[in-house]
Structure 1
Amino acid sequence: MKKNKVVAVLGLGLFGASVAKTLAKNGVEVIAMDKYMDHVEEVSSHIINAVQGDFTKLENLEAAFVNKADIAIIATGEQLEVAITTIFHLKKLNIKTIIAKTKNKMYREVLIKVGADRVILPEVEIGIEIGSEIAHARIQDLLELDEDYHIVEIDVEKDWINKMLSELNLNEEKLNVLGVKGEDDKRYSFLLNPSYRFKSGDRVVVLSGNVSINDNAINLENLDEN
């Protein structure tokens, strides 16, 4: 029987509480800890194992059974020494994956060196995500099949307009057209005839090896050269 994933969230401020509640909502077993009781009470209706305690003390982590966690998230990033101390304790408890939040790139380098597997700078990551979303609003990622191939919905490329599907040699660009919806159409047409001629305003669903999502950014180098 597959073991349920257990995640420890240490620090229940706005960021930590959001992570903990989201994990619990999605069926992940969560161990949540914060030194302030009001923070613990904030998540206690969502998480059974939410406890008050100073997670910079090894005995408190052991008492909360944090050693059972597969992943530990240090969700407070203001004080570098707090994160470093907690990472040392988590290493002693043989936690497989340690994720830490921090506030700047210098702290990030330090935390990686002392043993964090991933260090999050929330403002940077959110900025990248929002920037990519706005810049590439014409691309909608529908289904990620693996790291290389996605099914995506795109606006028809300018150089496709007034050309037949058979004229485009899309296989060379790792693109396979699955369906098209005209500007006035309510539904997509699939299994296109090679003689289909693209029109301005078409929306196209393609199987693409050119669109990849990496670090929350959409790479359009090959797909969007206009």
Structure 2
Amino acid sequence: MGTAKKEKYALIGMGDFGAQLAVTLAKKGIEVLAIDSSMEQLEDIKDVVERTVCLDATEEKALESQAIEEFDAAIICIGDEFEETLLIVTVLRNLGVRRIIARATTTRHAYILRHLDIEEVILPAVDAAYRLANKLAMQDQVNRLELSSDYEITEVRVPQQFVGKKVGEVNFRDEYHVVLITIKRVETQPHFWGMATREVERLVGVPIPETVMEKDDILLLFGHREAFERLLRSDNNEGSLNEGPEE
């Protein structure tokens, strides 16, 4: 069997955002070409990423010398200089780069980039605010595994209104639009030949309709992100969810 092709990305602009992204990708085993017009900006990451190059990315011949069209994607990480970002987008297009990802610092800049057919636009400040808002609004959400921009597998503390109910009494799929995968439960077991006890976390397995949900259970669920938000809000409102996720 042949070895899998190693992903490689060209990152342009090594400010705080670009440098952090470059280092994170490199630590995940991805080949990173870090580009900046300042050698000083490249100094801190030169020993972590595959390669660093000091050049002006608005100059087409300079980027062409790096065979940038052969990379899986070019990521423009520049923040404040939006005019420079637009120039680099033009250069990358002229060089035949298939996938361009661009950072925007304002929603107006993101709007302009999307109208230039840049489908992948990063808005770090907006994304950070969204994640914080979700974290604060969904305190009962324990862990999440994002499968796409809309769907995820998540661990949720059992809502109070479900405690003592059988799984079959709660219509997870049709009423809440989520799928119950399993239940994590902490149980107290004897330890040291019965002279002490310890708490052990175990999986209930595939829940059956007769499985009773207990206080402090963790439900492992699959569904649309909006469905989880409504599910957790319903714990406070004691209401049911009659609407599916918006498409």
Give yes or no for TM over 0.5.
Answer: yes
Q: After alignment, is 82-91 or 157-166 more displaced?
A: 157-166
Alignment of 1:3-22 (within 5 A): 3-22=5-24
TM-score scaled to structure 1, two decimals? 0.84
Match of 2:104 among 93, 99, 102: 102
Q: After alignment, is 160-169 or 88-97 more displaced?
A: 160-169
Q: 1:119 maps to which residue?
A: 121
Q: After alignment, is 165-174 or 101-110 more displaced?
A: 165-174
1:90-124 deviations in Å (ceiling 9; x for gaps): 01121121111122122222222234232222111
| Change beyond 3 A, Cα 1:36–1:202 | same
TM-score scaled to structure 2, two decimals? 0.78
1:77 shift after superposition:
2.2
Q: Distance in 1 between matches of 2:202 and 2:211?
A: 13
1:17-62 deviations in Å (ceiling 9; x for gaps): 1111111111111111101111111211012320111101011111
Matched-pair contact (CA < 8 Å) for 1:9–1:30:
yes
Q: 2:244 maps to which residue?
A: none
Q: Distance in 1 between matches of 2:181 and 2:61?
A: 58
Q: After alignment, is 114-123 or 171-180 more displaced?
A: 171-180
| Change beyond 3 A, Cα 1:129–1:162 | same
| Change beyond 3 A, Cα 1:103–1:47 | same
| Change beyond 3 A, Cα 1:111–1:176 | closer
Q: Distance in 2 between matches of 1:133 and 1:143?
A: 14
Q: 2:185 maps to which residue?
A: 181
Matched-pair contact (CA < 8 Å) for 1:61–1:67:
no
Q: 1:225 maps to which residue?
A: 234
Matched-pair contact (CA < 8 Å) for 2:187–2:202:
no
Alignment of 1:58-137 (within 5 A): 58-137=60-139
Match of 1:38 among 37, 40, 50: 40
Q: Over aligned residues, Cα RMSD in angstroms?
A: 2.6
Q: 1:56 maps to which residue?
A: 58
Q: Distance in 2 between matches of 1:49 and 1:171?
A: 49
Matched-pair contact (CA < 8 Å) for 2:26–2:50:
no
Q: Are 1:212 and 2:225 counterparts?
A: yes
Q: 2:212 maps to which residue?
A: 197
Q: Distance in 2 between matches of 1:3 and 1:177?
A: 34
Amino-acid identity (%): 27
Matched-pair contact (CA < 8 Å) for 2:142–2:157:
no
Q: Distance in 2 between matches of 1:133 and 1:49?
A: 36
Q: Note the residue ranges of structure 1 that are not aligned, 5 or more in a row.
A: none
Matched-pair contact (CA < 8 Å) for 2:9–2:72:
yes
Q: After alignment, is 113-122 or 69-78 more displaced?
A: 113-122
Matched-pair contact (CA < 8 Å) for 1:183–1:203:
no
1:14 shift after superposition:
0.6
| Change beyond 3 A, Cα 1:48–1:160 | closer
Q: After alignment, is 108-117 or 183-192 more displaced?
A: 183-192
Q: Distance in 1 between matches of 2:54 and 2:80?
A: 19
1:180 shift after superposition:
4.1
Q: Distance in 1 between matches of 2:222 and 2:163?
A: 19
Q: Note the residue ranges of structure 2 that are not aligned, 5 or more in a row.
A: 189-198, 236-247
Matched-pair contact (CA < 8 Å) for 1:142–1:153:
yes
Q: After alignment, is 168-177 or 64-73 more displaced?
A: 168-177
